[in-house]
Every structure is written in C-alpha cells, then in structure tokens.
Amino acid sequence: MSWRSMRASRPIRARTSGAPHQVVTVPRTAVTYSLYGDNVWLVEKKKAAKPAEATAGGGDTEKQAPQTIAVRRFVRVGPVQGDRVAITEGVKPGDEVVTSGQLKLQPNGAIKIDNAGRLKAPPVLPRT
C-alpha cells in the first residue's frame, strides 16, 4: 500500500518502534487543568510542631502524630487512556494524590482523608 492510496476511514496496520517504558499514571479526576499549568494535589505527612508551653517548660515530651497536609505540584501531562492520565514530570511512583474536593484545598493546609464516600463507578447502560 502506498502513501498516496491511504484514505480516511480505511484500516491500516502499523508497527511502532522503541522499547516500552514505565510511566506514572493518576486518575483523571486528580489533574486540575488551568491556564497557569496543569497541577495535582499531593498528600504529605508533616511532623507536627511541638506546643510552645511543652518546649518552654521542658515538662511534657509527648510526641504528636504527624499532620496530613495538601501540597500543590505542577505537572507535565502525557497521554490519556480511559480514566488514567500519564504524568511525565512532577509526580513520583508511590505519591498519594487527591482525587476529589480540590477546589476547597489551600496550599499546605491540613486535610483529613475520608475514603468512606468514594465515588461509585457509573452503571453500565445497555446499548439500544
């Protein structure tokens, strides 16, 4: 088949070259697209600050639980497949991302993770 004989809507066979590579993917709902750049909110654990009276008085040395905060990270978005988006820069494997409620977040703001109200997959509707 020559290049000139190809037409729209005509099936072809193609081979790609190159080795497959690993990419980080996130749910499509985790990416916020904006004019300033695409970004993702990450969940990070931050050591809680010691209370002022405990450090000044030298009495209570009780350890506090780490605080969970949200951090905005600008990312470079790659190809989209289904409900997953490839991230080429900005997120490392194992990073935890926020998938809902991003409009209410503040940079370095404390957050509480509640997975009880997870989004349900839409029911599959029969084709007519």
Q: What is the pTM of this model?
A: 0.66
* Cβ contact 111:70 at 8 Å: yes
Give mean pLDDT, residues 27-35: 93
Beta strands 67-74; 96-97: pairing state: unpaired
Q: Kindly report the CATH class assigned to 22-50+64-110.
A: mainly beta
CB burial readout 95-116, b (16+ within 10 A) else e: bebbbeebeebeeeeebeeeee
Alpha-carbon gap, residue 101 to 112, rounded angstroms: 11
Give the pLDDT score at 18.
78
Biggest CA–CA distance in the chain, Å, is 85
Confidence of residue 59 (pLDDT cuts 50, 70, 90): low
